[in-house]
Structure 1
């Protein structure tokens, strides 16, 4: 093991815990152990065993919601109320994976459709793809791990999960909980490290059959280019989620969901509402109402029950977001809020009409900032919204069906929410970025498909 490192609270940078870090020797031992498991077919965990483990793990997690919520708030900075919701979702994710095992099966392939295929019977089965490497992100330090680990357990893949360096504790606790629920340790191992080279070695090891990566597009696409031949992957990155606000939208009903979508977890969400396009007829009133609600958001210590917006994960991230805001203001944008309160905490900000080439208009902010742009024609706003090289979720607010359908059909997004914010998600729905925003499909069932392979078996009837 290498030297230990310190895990600190996102809000005030005080020490939570000092934990041992893994080194190259530990990584080799973990990959070797996982690979030996997948090669030993006689030792594979039976479906009923995997289901029972996941059900038991869900029950144990349900009993410890408050403990996990506090840990999420401490290491990740997510307000306690939202952290508890994350823990509840993690319970549901484990249950979803257990339930999917009942329906996880192959299919019959029709035979006898040609003379050459006559007298044969064919069907498919699904097999675990092999060892899974899961590299995760900080912003949902429990639920993201569940979405990577639970499908692997469900299909029978050994998994080595590397949590984000600032937020390893939730991952370690979940791995221990799975072990307590009956999962033998080599089936779910953790790699705790701040060494990016060691993470890359995990992802690119030829014994890895599948890489599940959640994080920055730059790192994800780089790792994909370095994978060993035959290794499959799924990448989940981010975007700059657009919202269309039609002139028919009811302002008294849309401000709250837009604020939730834009400032939930201080905007550190891959589908956080970022670019808000508002019809010019209602733009002034929209900005006024949005500003009033944003100013009222309670900002501060995520461990306080009434906090709505907590810190950014690292001081350098708060500095980056502040610099982007300053750049937009220097180029002519109107700023509402945005003052830096501490090393990691920013007041929620609104930028009105930032320049088209400003970073806040072109890149994922990943901070508590939304941008408002006026438009006359919906199609023009949609064209601007679709102009970036990434696309994930989008939304449209309208009481008229025609503009709602037009936006839903024309927005370049994997999912379009009508009269709801861009960050809406349930744990059983497919979840995927397009273009530079991702590769493959997330969600419990889609990930189970990704982590398994279909094998066809053909019987020939004797003459």
Structure 2
């Protein structure tokens, strides 16, 4: 059987060797999942699902250090942030348990026309069917939770395909689910190359596809799924931020620093394009550069590290080429701008790169933020909205009218006021529109996506 070596993105150390699945393996996994879904006598009662998820929380809570080290080692996210990810993942399981208590249908009004008298109607929730989950590298444990636990909670069997770069966290999590008592057919993990992943995603045996990754791949898969397959896509964007002249500088700089350089910028809502009023543009650029220079870049397993490596050497080279293109076009480097090693890139702040440069038009997914001056906020809104992305955006101002205007004008599906774009809690709706994605994530929202409503109408002369 073919296999892949999972290596540390920081130093190239081999962490594990994982068997690769082929199309035959995918068919076996799909057949197991379809069997338990199509035979309702095999469905897990809600109380059993709750007990399994509660046991999962218990096991994960006893292994926080182990889970943290696995995620940090394979993904390169610094230890301090990987530990937060583990705690979020545990809370995500708790959120699913809590939402199961309010996951319900409703009465549909009858009798307000003559044709609908003597009837009563209710909707009820049922599992959508077999879920295929294709995941990304940047949050290897928390994304696995977000793409599998909602399915398990609503009673849909799920097959997860983690990133080839970071499969260990997902594999370990699925084994924890088994240890907690989940029968294997209800959650299976497959590690495979892109062609085999496409075979899974486009199979007529699945009912829902959840995909987290690049927009090119996501929209391609969306065009290839079998008829009737519901699809959820989470891509990314350029996370525009508008900073007005009255912004609180003391709060602003730490927020932009965290939002821009958290996980080396490898976050789908990482701060990227910052539009700053010309009256304070130089000050913001100077202070943000000063803060970025102080960040500790290096070994993700060192508890002091704040910015880890890029996921691959290829990504370091890509970031370097994008930054060089912007510099040649006239961007001023306020700090950084160069690779530190084959795996790490300096925290970089660029001032006024060309509007047609890649750093201005595409998701950087690296430790680079760009600052652009403006004089009229309406022009800033137009610049922020000019690309085909619509995910999370932000505005910093102490004027409530300006804040509300920004919320109205900005195209983001979420607009933060006086906070960075990378803020998220796992019970809020999270997802993009336009090129940024399709559908909505967040534990409760994913549970809705992975289920379907059935309407029951009863006719009776007693009504």
TM-score (norm 2): 0.99
Contact residue 51 and residue 99 of structure 1 kept, 8 A: no
Q: Which residue of 1 aligns with 2:81?
A: 82
Q: Which residue of 2 aligns with 1:200?
A: 198
Q: Which residue of 2 aligns with 1:311?
A: 309
Moved more, 107-116 or 85-94: 107-116
How far apart, CA to CA, are the structure 2 residues paired with 1:59 and 1:105?
26
Q: Which residue of 2 aligns with 1:41?
A: 40
SS at match of 1:459: strand
Q: Which residue of 2 aligns with 1:268?
A: 266
- Indicate yes or no: 2:289 matched with 1:294: no
- Indicate yes or no: 2:321 matched with 1:323: yes
SS at match of 1:272: coil
Moved more, 21-30 or 183-192: 21-30
Q: How far apart are 1:338 and its partner, in Å?
A: 2.3
SS at match of 2:372: strand
Q: Which residue of 2 aligns with 1:127?
A: 126
How far apart, CA to CA, are the structure 2 residues paired with 1:253 and 1:20?
48
Q: How far apart are 1:273 and its partner, in Å?
A: 0.2
Query: Which runs of 4 or more aligned residues in structure 1 lie more than 2 Å from their structure 2 counterparts after TM superposition?
Result: none
Structure 1, unaligned stretches of length 5 or more? none
SS at match of 1:145: helix
How far apart, CA to CA, are the structure 1 residues paired with 2:382 and 2:58?
47
SS at match of 2:153: helix
How far apart, CA to CA, are the structure 1 residues paired with 2:74 and 2:315?
15
How far apart, CA to CA, are the structure 2 residues paired with 1:279 and 1:458?
59
How far apart, CA to CA, are the structure 1 residues paired with 2:282 and 2:178?
56
Structure 1 residues 14-54: Cα deviation after superposition (integer angstroms, max 9, x where no partner): 10011211122211110111011110101100011111111
- Cα RMSD (Å): 0.8
Q: Which residue of 2 aligns with 1:182?
A: 181
How far apart, CA to CA, are the structure 1 residues paired with 2:241 and 2:394?
5
SS at match of 1:73: helix
SS at match of 1:431: coil
Q: Which residue of 2 aligns with 1:453?
A: 452
- Indicate yes or no: 2:61 matched with 1:62: yes
SS at match of 1:253: helix
How far apart, CA to CA, are the structure 2 residues paired with 1:420 and 1:427?
17
Q: How far apart are 1:402 and its partner, in Å?
A: 2.0
Q: How far apart are 1:462 and its partner, in Å?
A: 3.6
SS at match of 2:16: strand
Structure 1 residues 316-368: Cα deviation after superposition (integer angstroms, max 9, x where no partner): 01100100000000000011212211111001101100001000000000000
**Correspondence list, 1:340-419, <5 A:** 340-419=339-418
Structure 2, unaligned stretches of length 5 or more? none
Structure 1 residues 365-394: Cα deviation after superposition (integer angstroms, max 9, x where no partner): 000000000000111011010000111001
Structure 1 residues 286-314: Cα deviation after superposition (integer angstroms, max 9, x where no partner): 11111110000000000001000000001
Q: Which residue of 1 aligns with 2:213?
A: 215
- Indicate yes or no: 2:248 matched with 1:253: no
SS at match of 1:28: helix
SS at match of 1:281: coil
SS at match of 2:339: coil
How far apart, CA to CA, are the structure 2 residues paired with 1:28 and 1:133?
12
Aligned residue-pair number: 461
How far apart, CA to CA, are the structure 2 residues paired with 1:369 and 1:457?
54
How far apart, CA to CA, are the structure 2 residues paired with 1:70 and 1:400?
43
TM-score (norm 1): 0.99
How far apart, CA to CA, are the structure 1 residues paired with 2:449 and 2:210?
10
Q: How far apart are 1:220 and its partner, in Å?
A: 0.3
How far apart, CA to CA, are the structure 2 residues paired with 1:242 and 1:8?
33
Q: Which residue of 1 aligns with 2:157?
A: 158
How far apart, CA to CA, are the structure 2 residues paired with 1:48 and 1:100?
13
Q: Which residue of 1 aligns with 2:278?
A: 280
Moved more, 366-375 or 249-258: 249-258
How far apart, CA to CA, are the structure 2 residues paired with 1:284 and 1:125?
57
- Indicate yes or no: 2:435 matched with 1:436: yes
SS at match of 2:272: strand
How far apart, CA to CA, are the structure 1 residues paired with 2:443 and 2:242?
29
